[in-house]
Amino acid sequence: MASLEKPIANGFRPPAVPDIDVHGFWGDRIDAVADKTVMILYERCVAAGMFDQIDPDRPVPEVRMPFHLRSDGSPDTVNVQMFWDSDVAKVIEAAAYALYRKPNPDLEEKMDAIIEMFGRLQLPDGYMNSWFIRMQPGKRWTNLRDCHELYCAGHLMEAAVAYFHATKKRALLDIMSRYANHIDRTFGPSPGQKPGYCGHEEIELALIRLGRTTGERRYFNLARYFVEQRGQQPHYFDVEAAERGADPKQFRHRTYEYNQSHLPVRQQNKVIGHAVRAMYLYSGMADVATEFGDDTLTDALKILWDDLTTKQMYVTGGIGPAASNEGFTDYYDLPNESAYAETCASVGLVMLASRMLGRGPDRVYADIMEQALYNGALSGLATDGATFFYDNPLESRGKHHRWTWHRCPCCPPNIARTVAAIGSYMYGVSADEAAIHLYGESTARLMIGTTPVTLTQNTNYPWDGRISIEVGLDAPASFKLALRIPGWCRTPSASVQGDWLDVTPIENKGYLRIERHWQGGETIVLDLPMEARFIHANPAVKADLGRAALARGPMIYCAEEVDNASGLNSLIVEDDAKDANAGRAEGLDGAVALDLKARRERWSDWTGKLYDTEKPTIEETNVRFVPYHLWDNRAPGEMLVWVRVQR
Amino acid sequence: MASLEKPIANGFRPPAVPDIDVHGFWGDRIDAVADKTVMILYERCVAAGMFDQIDPDRPVPEVRMPFHLRSDGSPDTVNVQMFWDSDVAKVIEAAAYALYRKPNPDLEEKMDAIIEMFGRLQLPDGYMNSWFIRMQPGKRWTNLRDCHELYCAGHLMEAAVAYFHATKKRALLDIMSRYANHIDRTFGPSPGQKPGYCGHEEIELALIRLGRTTGERRYFNLARYFVEQRGQQPHYFDVEAAERGADPKQFRHRTYEYNQSHLPVRQQNKVIGHAVRAMYLYSGMADVATEFGDDTLTDALKILWDDLTTKQMYVTGGIGPAASNEGFTDYYDLPNESAYAETCASVGLVMLASRMLGRGPDRVYADIMEQALYNGALSGLATDGATFFYDNPLESRGKHHRWTWHRCPCCPPNIARTVAAIGSYMYGVSADEAAIHLYGESTARLMIGTTPVTLTQNTNYPWDGRISIEVGLDAPASFKLALRIPGWCRTPSASVQGDWLDVTPIENKGYLRIERHWQGGETIVLDLPMEARFIHANPAVKADLGRAALARGPMIYCAEEVDNASGLNSLIVEDDAKDANAGRAEGLDGAVALDLKARRERWSDWTGKLYDTEKPTIEETNVRFVPYHLWDNRAPGEMLVWVRVQR
């Protein structure tokens, strides 16, 4: 067993969700999750029969969902029922945040009942997985590659931490600690232990979370072991397959790039494979880097981060263009209409970016966290909290709509828990500094070292860039505040108690670093003017040639048929957003819409013609743009992010 | 057996290849085929070992080419070796036309030797297929769906006709007549006959050709039987599969749409499946319609023609966008860079269009024949006749180049035989009329009814639109001439003996119909001004949005990196070709290049950036366009047909 190193002092860790009271833009979203989404999620779990599988006192249910079939008709290894524990876990996690926000005895009782089921399900040795206890007994730990066993454990650990923070109830935390201890005994380099790791990463970051909450540092070591062991030779998935009598080559996804186990993690320099898995792995790596101060891991992550964000990311922060592997393809292959860009993958990118901030404030990460959060991730949840996007294209001819549910129900609870936990993404706290990564009307109760600090943000962000931050203290104290200056803002300014700061000398990696002896009651005002701007794509991105995307603040905009009639691709805007007229979007309460002058191609009748020499006539028109994440919340129709631009 | 109906009198049939002496543009191409391509084709057949399989006096060779493998690794049914007879047949056909053009005793001796091999291979009952005689004896006629057996017979029939016309030697014609008789005994509705047809259409049109040459009308009836039988229930391919103990559902291409046997032919109204198969089927249908005057078939073909040319055809006349089925996908799905657009498919479209003219001159068909011929088909053959394109994209980032050969060697001999036979596509002759479908420097010796007529075209077409046609007669005679007015020509004019004709009243379906008592020696002058023009695509074609294709006369143009530097997608042209400057393209002897003013986007450095708010600067430049079919004949690089257009 690797020796336990002390967590480094200068790492930044997120506060617990209940430490931040969130209002304003995100407050409304959290309320929608608390009021509606969480109960929808619970009911869908009931309808799917998930609790029939989990509750050991009910009859063992039949296998409900068909196995994936190989092309010759023979069954393959993965069934969504195998990872139902993780879906239930994400529901518990989202419910925990909802309960913290709004007491709800009915919901709490339901969650307690599920936790009690898990308690009854858990075996005396600590093992707890409903599929392998009830559906495939005797097969535990025989197919880590395909069966999501440690992944399920990880999500339950995250749920346990969240439920403990929200309710102070320890039951699930204790269950998952026992299970984590079992996993710790089962996996490792010692004789009799399995040198394995999960085909779907998640356990790594979950063990860090569990360790931070319980103080059990061996969970950090186990997380590090899983990270270090990945991709080592002899390859665990080969060995494991041979042990269960299977041909290692008969892997449905053909290459271990699919689950990022093709190489040891420090040798990986291309973001590849299944997008959610990649994000969860890198998140775990970043957490391990933070806890162990491991620069070699951080350096590997920086290479992967650049690879992802400079060659493989949609402007919405969507990632993973292909449905075939739910993941990455070639550099600059970012088709808009067929974009997969799974909600969970953008959530994963938010998680990764947030964890990259563990090594200290850096706009490189926080800007992308904000971009993915407000666009590719948030688009996954309708404003009323009742319907969901699984894939998030940047263009639609009118046939792409929000689901009430999905065969693979990972995204709805994932975006729900992310929205409900938004407070923990807004801040990072080290021993002597608090960083504000995201702005929004809120009150944060933080502990900087041993100093309790209250930071109250008054703002209409993200619709307006003026943020007033009040520092509340029990007693005067010295500490640093790091305030992010978003990369999209050209003319930031800031004052403390009305004194304007000279921004440039105190900016470091895109954060204003304010160090002083605080008396308490100071007001910092940050002014981040939001001007509409057009974003262009690297010309290597074929899909965006001759097009531009409109943005304002952290929001990427799109045009919808409901505002602009059909034929959005006949619209051509001038490549200048300075005259954009900002106003309220009807039917999208509070959102800022942008109106721009444009030209529209009018063609004569194309009926029965494929080609013609006749030119279109051009008419002047206006185009209304609305924030991308809000699309398909009104009348259904076409949608377009990358609009044609006049040259 | 269906009763034999008389062929109709007013059908138009193509002249035999030796009846036309072709010079000018096409003459140079035919010379390249005769001087170079034909011997290359022959040598590639030798190198592939095709003659080891055909010659019954050599040891039976091993299977050379791997079978297609199913995803589970088990072998599927198709091996290219199965259809080697057809590749050899196309080589004989191309060689026949070359021999007619230029005596070549060495080549003729080689072809005679192959024909002699086929003679020795043929079984006493007339059957003759090298795969099923030598490689899989005993399996004949057991898998018409997959094994190309009648397809091979068809190509050999075409070769026999061509070789007979060119050399007057009957050996192969006699072999193939015996084989045709065997096939006629084997297939049909009578007890003991098989009610089958081929999975790869070709035999239908070949039987018509054989019947026209031999005068054997039962070949017409057999062609009609194959056409009528296709897609009838119970489905022959199901029955046949069951008879050989196979599961009919285990069909690699899953749906009988792949080979157009999903419905009886008159019920088909969507062009679907494998593109070459579709074109060959429709060609056979058109031939049967011509010989039997069958309007019901012609009506079905008109629907399919509209479907193809108004929803599924590239502007080059390329068809079949997808590699996966070598065929058709969804309407308006015409991606440029990934276009499959197989050379053979455009050749097939030329064949179909030519045969649609069997019911009389109609520009609807002749325009597309010319478009496909000069662009999507001719691009398949390098100017020197030595290298080939299999797939013909309309955009390349610089990695698509001509092959010296291909695993599936169908395209090189197919484009070679088409070019060498171009004379037969230029004319159509009925009992009282000759139609000129294509223009080009040439002399045609035609028989209109019983009147021998010589038509001599003097022209620099396709580079210039002025055509002088001299009518040569042994004695004065009355007949009609139909002269095509291409749809691309806005201001056609025509004169006979210097007297200008009023074009409008005598134009019918895009042809000038001139009926008079000819003295002989008359000169008709046709003036078809060629102006450069931009073509726009129906906005439903996503790939061409905001783009236009430059054309002049029958030629579609493209920009190449060699003339314009890299980054062709940074070029933006004005949507007006009237100022295009026509000149000679260097290194492409005789071809007309077009130069246009344009704008070029210049971006600042994109290294390490995926998105940016900075605009490009715009610089004025010139773009040189060259005929599409000539691309990749000079320095390799990018190519683009659909250029961005200013709005």
pLDDT digits (tens, 9 = 90+) for A281-334: 999 999 999 999 999 999 999 999 999 999 999 999 999 999 989 999 999 999
- Chain segment B491-524, per-residue pLDDT in tens: 999 999 999 999 888 899 999 999 999 999 999 9
- Alpha helices in A187-339, H assignment, sequence order: 203-214, 217-229, 236-243, 275-292, 295-311
Which residue of chain B comes nearest to A605, CA vs CA? B538
Nearest Cα neighbor of A40 from A346, A388, A323, A340 is A388
Which residue of chain A comes nearest to B74, CA vs CA? A72
Mean pLDDT computed over A152-166? 97
Residue B561 among the catalytic residues = no
Q: Which residues of chain B have pLDDT under 70?
A: 1-9, 65-77, 406-408
Between CA A343 and CA A618 the distance in angstroms is: 38
**The pLDDT of residue A63:** 82
Q: Residue B284: is it exposed, middle or buried by C-beta count within 10 angstroms (0-12/13-18/19+)?
A: buried
**The pLDDT of residue B406:** 66
**Which residue type is seen at B500?**
W
Query: In A, which residues are within 8 Å of B536 by CB distance?
Result: 603, 611-616
pLDDT, mean over chain B: 94
Query: In A, which residues are within 8 Å of B72 by CB distance?
Result: 70-72
- Nearest CA of chain A to the CA of B124: how many Å? 42
Q: Say which of B535, B569, B616 has its CB closest to residue A613.
A: B535
Between CA A163 and CA B348 the distance in angstroms is: 68
Q: Say which of B309, B539, B572 has its CB closest to residue A606.
A: B539
Yes or no: say if A333 and A300 are a contact pair by the CB < 8 Å rule. Answer: no
pLDDT, mean over chain A: 94
Query: In A, which residues are within 8 Å of B311 by CB distance?
Result: 610
- Residues linked to residue A645 through DSSP beta bridges, in sequence order: A573
**The pLDDT of residue A312:** 98
Contact B601 A647 (CB under 8 A): yes
Residue from A247, A609, A611 to probe the interface with B (highest B Cβ count within 10 Å): A611
- Percentage helix, strand, coil for chain B under 3-state DSSP, each rounded to 5: 40, 20, 40
Interface residues of chain A, partner chain B, Cβ below 8 Å: 70-72, 306, 309-311, 313, 315, 337, 533-542, 545-546, 549, 567, 569-570, 572, 575, 599, 601, 603, 606, 608-616, 618, 644, 646-647
- Nearest CA of chain A to the CA of B601: how many Å? 8
Contacts of A499 (CB under 8 A, 6+ apart): none
Q: Say which of B535, B542, B610 has its CB closest to residue A537.
A: B610
Between CA A526 and CA A489 the distance in angstroms is: 12
Query: Whose structure tokens read 């062929």?
Result: B7
Backbone angles phi, psi at B384, to 5 degrees: -85, 0
| The pairing of beta strand B523-527 with beta strand B499-500 | unpaired
- Chain segment A385-407, per-residue pLDDT in tens: 999 999 999 999 999 999 887 66
**The pLDDT of residue A410:** 76
Q: Is the dihedral of CA A363, A364, A367, A372 positive or negative?
A: negative
Q: Which two tokens stand for residue A522?
A: 């100071």
Q: Where in the sequence numbering do the catalytic residues of A fall? A: 326, 410
Which residue of chain B comes nearest to A544, CA vs CA? B611
Is residue A76 very low, low, confident or very high in pLDDT (cuts 50, 70, 90)?
A: low
DSSP letter assigned to residue A645: E
Q: Say which of A71, A306, A309 has its CB closest to residue B72.
A: A71
Query: In B, which residues are within 8 Å of A309 by CB distance?
Result: 610
Catalytic residue, from B45, B152, B344, B410: name it: B410
- Residues linked to residue B274 through DSSP beta bridges, in sequence order: B327
DSSP letter assigned to residue A138: T
What is residue A483's three-state secondary structure? Answer: strand
Instruction: Give the largest Cα separation in chain A, rounded.
Output: 79
Query: In A, which residues are within 8 Å of B537 by CB distance?
Result: 610-611
Which residue of chain A comes nearest to B488, CA vs CA? A613
Proportion of chain A above pLDDT 90, given as a percent = 88
Between CA B432 and CA B438 the distance in angstroms is: 19
Contact A613 B315 (CB under 8 A): no
Query: In A, which residues are within 8 Å of B566 by CB distance?
Result: none
Between CA B594 and CA B463 the distance in angstroms is: 12
DSSP letter assigned to residue B63: P
What is residue B358's three-state secondary structure? Answer: helix
Query: In B, which residues are within 8 Å of A567 by CB distance?
Result: 539
- Residues linked to residue A327 through DSSP beta bridges, in sequence order: A274, A322
Contact B534 A618 (CB under 8 A): no
Contacts A–B by Cβ distance under 8 A = 110
What is residue B14's three-state secondary structure? Answer: coil
- Nearest CA of chain A to the CA of B536: how many Å? 5
Q: Say which of A545, A611, A647 has its CB closest to residue B646.
A: A647
- Edge-first strand order for the sheet with A433-436 is A427-429, A433-436, A477-484, A511-518, A507-508
Between CA A309 and CA A331 the distance in angstroms is: 11
- Nearest CA of chain A to the CA of B216: how many Å? 41
Query: In A, which residues are within 8 Å of B598 by CB distance?
Result: none
- Please say if the pLDDT value at position A474 is more than 90: yes
Q: Say which of B538, B546, B613 has its CB closest to residue A535.
A: B613
**The pLDDT of residue B174:** 98
- Chain segment A264-296, per-residue pLDDT in tens: 999 999 999 999 999 999 999 999 999 999 999
Nearest Cα neighbor of B179 from B160, B197, B200, B205 is B160
Contact A569 B539 (CB under 8 A): yes
Between CA B114 and CA B168 the distance in angstroms is: 16
Yes or no: say if A348 and A308 are a contact pair by the CB < 8 Å rule. Answer: no
- Nearest CA of chain B to the CA of A609: how many Å? 5
Query: In B, which residues are within 8 Å of A646 by CB distance?
Result: 647
Backbone angles phi, psi at B217, to 5 degrees: -70, -15
Mean pLDDT computed over A115-129? 98
Between CA B333 and CA B320 the distance in angstroms is: 10
Q: Say which of A70, A337, A608 has its CB closest to residue B310.
A: A608
Between CA A647 and CA B575 the distance in angstroms is: 12
Q: Identify the H or E element spanning A359.
A: none
Residue from B271, B611, B621, B642 to probe the interface with A (highest A Cβ count within 10 Å): B611
Which residue of chain B comes nearest to A542, CA vs CA? B569
Q: Say which of A609, A611, A644 has its CB closest to residue B546.
A: A644
Query: In B, which residues are within 8 Å of A330 by CB distance?
Result: none
pTM of the model: 0.91
Between CA A487 and CA B104 the distance in angstroms is: 74
Between CA B142 and CA B186 the distance in angstroms is: 12
Contact B646 A644 (CB under 8 A): no
Q: Is the dihedral of CA B618, B622, B628, B634 positive or negative?
A: negative
- Nearest CA of chain A to the CA of B313: how many Å? 8
Contact B618 A647 (CB under 8 A): yes
Concatenating the DSSP letter of every residue in B255-313 gives: SGGGGT-SS-GGG--S--SBHHHHHHHHHHHHHHHHHHT-HHHHHHHHHHHHHHHHHSB
Kindly report the CA angle at B450 between B449 and B454, in degrees rounded to 5?
Answer: 90
Yes or no: say if B467 and B457 are a contact pair by the CB < 8 Å rule. Answer: yes
- Nearest CA of chain A to the CA of B608: how many Å? 6
The CA distances from residue A286 to A78, A247, A299, A466, A490, in Å, are 28, 34, 10, 32, 30
Backbone angles phi, psi at B621, to 5 degrees: -155, 180
Which residue of chain A comes nearest to B550, CA vs CA? A613
Cβ of A85: how many Cβ atoms within 10 Å? 27
Contact A536 B613 (CB under 8 A): yes
Which residue of chain A comes nearest to B644, CA vs CA? A546
- Nearest CA of chain B to the CA of A514: how many Å? 29
Q: Is B58 left (phi over 0), alpha (psi -120 to 50) or beta?
A: beta
Contact A610 B313 (CB under 8 A): yes
Q: Which two tokens stand for residue B492?
A: 């056609």
Contact A606 B538 (CB under 8 A): yes
**Which residue type is seen at A131?**
W
Between CA A327 and CA A281 the distance in angstroms is: 14
Length of chain A as a residue count: 647
Contacts of A580 (CB under 8 A, 6+ apart): A532, A550, A552, A594, A595, A596, A625
- Nearest CA of chain B to the CA of A104: how many Å? 45
